[in-house]
Amino acid sequence: MRNFKLEIVTPTEINKIENVSYVRCPGSDGSFGIMKGHRDAVIALGVGEIKITETGKDFYYATSGGFVEISKEKVQFLLETVELSKDINLDRAKSSLKRSKDRVSNKNNNDMNRAELSLIKALNRLKVSSR
C-alpha cells in the first residue's frame, strides 16, 4: 500500500494519522498535493482547507495557516489552528463572521489588515463546516 504517516501539531495538541494516501494543502502560493514519495520540503501554508484521505475516506480541516514539513519518514503540519469540519461550531463561526464584517466596515478601525484576515478566517471556517 502506498500510504504515509501524518502528524498535525498545534500549540495545544498533536494528532497522529497512520494511513494517509493523499493530502491537499492551502499553500501560501496556491493549493498543492502530497502523496507518498513526495520530495522533501518545508512549505508555508495560508488560511484554507486541508483535505486528508485516510483509508479511502476524505476528511476536511479548516486552518489559519502554518507550515508543512515533508520528509521520507512522515508529513508534519505545524499549524496555528486546525478544526475538523464536523467539529466546527456553526453558531460560533457565524458570530465570528458577523464581528469580522463589522470590524472591516468600521472606517475608524486602526488595524484593517487584522480585521480583513479575521474575515478571511471566518469565511473559511464556514466553508469547511459544510463538508
CATH of domain 4-85: 2.60.15.10
Q: What is d(CA 130, CA 94) in angstroms, rounded to the nearest whole number?
A: 13
Indicate the domain borders of the chain.
4-85, 89-129
CATH of domain 89-129: 1.20.5.440
Q: What is d(CA 130, CA 123) in angstroms, rounded to the nearest whole number?
A: 11
Q: What is the DSSP string of 39-77?
A: PPEEEEE-SEEEEEEETTEEEEEEE--EEEEE-SS-EEE
Instruction: Indicate the burial class of 105 (C-beta count within 10 angstroms; 0-12, 13-18, 19 or more).
Output: exposed
* pLDDT tens for the chain, residues 1 to 131: 579 999 999 999 999 999 999 999 999 889 999 999 899 999 999 999 999 999 899 999 999 999 999 998 899 999 999 999 999 888 888 888 888 888 878 777 677 777 788 888 888 888 999 88
pTM of the model: 0.84
